[in-house]
């Protein structure tokens, strides 16, 4: 199955949605909502903002691998 390299992030504060390209070689730990300006961070147990707030998980997770930033406790 081909990798999906875009994910639509949904802000939990204001509901704004925006489709963003996902990096394939790094985790994105922060994302600033373009509508309300809230700084989003991964939820506990998630490796990046795409896995927490996106409709598609990051490329490493799609491939069934550990994400680049996941530590033993699941947090970056």
pLDDT tens digit at each of 76 positions of the chain: 789 999 999 999 999 999 999 998 778 999 999 999 999 999 999 999 999 999 999 998 998 887 765 443 344 4
Chain centroid to CA 49? 3
**Alpha carbons 39 and 26: distance in angstroms, whole number:** 18
Q: Taking the model in full, what pTM does it have? A: 0.83
What single-letter DSSP state applies at residue 36? T
**Alpha carbons 24 and 10: distance in angstroms, whole number:** 20
Is residue 40 classed as helix, strand or coil in its secondary structure? strand
**7 strand-pairing partners:** 20
């Amino acid at each position: 199955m081909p990798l999906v390299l875009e994910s639509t992030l949904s802000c939990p504060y204001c509901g704004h949605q925006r489709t963003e390209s996902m990096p394939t070689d790094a985790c994105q730990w922060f994302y600033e909502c373009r509508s309300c300006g809230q700084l989003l961070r991964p939820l506990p147990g998630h490796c990046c903002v795409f896995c927490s707030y996106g409709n598609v998980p990051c490329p490493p997770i799609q491939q069934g691998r550990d994400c680049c930033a996941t530590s033993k406790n699941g947090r970056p």
